[in-house]
Amino acid sequence: MKLRISFKYTHLYPSARSLVRMSTRPLVRSSARPLVPLSSRPPVRLSTCPPFSLPLPPKPPSPMTINETEAQIISEFAMFDDWMDKYNYLIELGKSLQIISEEYRTDQYLITGCQSKVWLHASLTEGKVVFTGDSDAIITKGIVSLLIRVLSGQTPDDILRAKLEFVDQIGLQEHLSPTRSNGLSSMIKQMKLYATVFKMTREK
């Protein structure tokens, strides 16, 4: 005896007639507010805030004059009562000295009359004399640092007029050995000689 089993899935699919009926039904609008045509919308009002702009960078400070730099150095050394502390400060100043280029560490740029080796180079940039220097002695290197700090970036005329009174006011001259004192005078003389040459070159 054979059993025939059939399954009918037609109840799962809507008939064509029901699909037509569903497509012709009017859409039911939701309770949301009706759409407004673009032409009837009010124009968008632009913001009246001023345009954003970045602040201008501050102007670089003007370079200090020789007298102002001297006064600053005198004030710094006045903080120390003991000259051993002043020597240590002088050594620290020498450590911050910009190293002279190797091409200028030659005998041509050595300053005669110094106990230790001192190299000094000068160039004229936009009417200002720019000094770089170095020394193989830590105390002398600190002295070079002070002189470059005062005179570098100044005009030849200002350098020639400079009296460099800070040397005596901080007691540097009297606390140096005779040979170091002579070396200090030689350094100042060489720096003013550079200024003289640059001044003569500009006047030609």
Number of H helices, E strands in the chain: 7, 2
Angstrom distance (rounded) from CA 68 to CA 4: 117
Phi/psi of residue 8, nearest 5 degrees: -110, 120
The verdict on whether 114 is a catalytic residue reads: yes
Angstrom distance (rounded) from CA 54 to CA 181: 54
111, 114, 150, 151: which one is catalytic? 114
Cα dihedral 57/59/63/69 (nearest 10): -70
Residues 6+ apart with CB under 8 A from 73: 146, 149, 150, 166, 170
Q: What is the DSSP code string of 44-92?
A: PPPP-SPPP-PPPPPPPPPPPPHHHHHHHHHHHHTT-SSHHHHHHHHHH
Active site positions, annotated? 114
